[in-house]
Structure 1
Amino acid sequence: MPELPEVETVRRTLNQLVAGKRIERVTVSLPRILQRPAEPEQFAAALAGRTIETVERRGKFLRLMLDGLVLVSHLRMEGRYGVYAKDEPVEPHTHVIFHFDDGTELRYKDVRQFGTMHLFAPGEDLQQKPLNKLGIEPLEDGFTLQTLKRALARRTTKIKPLLLNQAYIVGLGNIYVDEALFTAGIHPERTADTLKPAEWARLYDAIRSTLARAVDAGGSSIKSYVNGQGEMGMFQHELLVYGRGGEPCRRCGAAIEKLVVGGRGTHICVKCQRPSRRR
């Protein structure tokens, strides 16, 4: 599933490609992607004639800001957007097409068919599902060491599932939680209440720096991710532990191990991320 760096990269490329374009009509071939309204005719009618003003992001969700409406879109496992000329062949698994009046089209393709789209009045999207219970954005100024500790420090849950929980911090998924915990030298099975002040400071810095570097690299193309221009991300070449099971740690040389934490495949260095006793 695309995480914050990948969705942010898609947001930036889509903003360059579709901001200012006017929707002439919309074609929906897989209605179940639509959540609000669920009927393709209503969805298409609501968007016809509207202009995409800008593209924003909230966590792993895209927010296409139109004149008078907000389209909230989640890519889920393999959803992707691309801009095409109207005479280009439509690829298989293309489920929604936004036809612009300049002869181009924004096409949504989703092999797994798990993506979702919601329409809201401006501002209403932040007050209702799926955005209303999301946590803080880790690359914004409001995310500080103090807010991180205030949200998680007293909890007796393992630190990895806490970091994956979008109600606390948004945008972090399996890739970047593994990378941040390795960078901070924290074992993913440590419970949050056992972390010492210096470890919280390292974790905070690791979250910010890992995400920022990944955004700069255009995200990680582990499976099928590409941005709105069809380009792969490059951060997968900089990953320190994720997906590197059995390979040597780039810090100490020990073999990277894969285990399961909170039901998720997890990569660690057993020397750099040793379990610690409770305080």
Structure 2
Amino acid sequence: MHEQIPLRVRGVNLRVASVRREGVDAPVVFLHGFGTSKEDYLDVLQRHDFAGRSFLAYDAPGAGATECADLAAVDLPFLADALHEVLDHAGIGRFHAVGHLTGALTVLLLARRDPGRLLSFVNIKGVLAPEDCVLSREALRHRDPAAYVFALAERSRETPCYGGGLYAANLPSKVRRGAMPPLFRSMVELADHENLLQGFLSLPCPKMYLYGEQCAGLSYLPLLDANGVELAEIPHSGQLPMYSNPVAMWRQIAEFHARQLIPSARRW
């Protein structure tokens, strides 16, 4: 079911574009990353290994088809507050989270206030350390971060990064310019001054960190592995496995969920 959810977060009016399905077991909540949208996850409707599963996916404020009355308010804590309101509106208590890039960081911020709400967490190349903020730092050094990002996206069409061309083509229609500066600023602030890595490790639920082979040089991967986080490296992929190798990505997520023997926590 597609719907526009009217919400008010920190005094800002939103109409959140969402897709959900009621079904069996605890819901899976999908959060997209910067420059992408809820449609990245809608192949879940075609996956036999998710048949009948309840799920929710939505466009974050400042992205996709979601309407936001004040884009200057859209930083990461705002996105976490919006997630909280979306979950409450949908009647979701505990849930399985799948988050990509800034979507994963949004889940992590929500979990800091209520870690018991997560049944499991698939973190798809989420921000966990300062090394994950190269682009946002570069953008903030320019007078117009949005213009810089769009120009960089155009150049990415010719880079050897998997999925770069499709990402560049989608970016202008999926991101609102006014949301970029506050979003980037808060991302860098959190990465530099909050121990996001330890926060992720300390979550009491089963965790997977999923990334493309072009991201295999991340310095913290051995630490994640040593602390019980399941690692899933997707071949022929970089930061955008849902574009470059969706079959392998969905297989890893489905197999991870199948291993979680957690009783249903439906509140639909």
TM score, norm. by length of structure 1:
0.25
Select the structure with the greater relative contact order (CA < 8 A; seq sep ≥ 6): 2
User: Comparing both structures, which one devotes a greater share of its residues to helix?
Assistant: 2
TM score, norm. by length of structure 2:
0.26
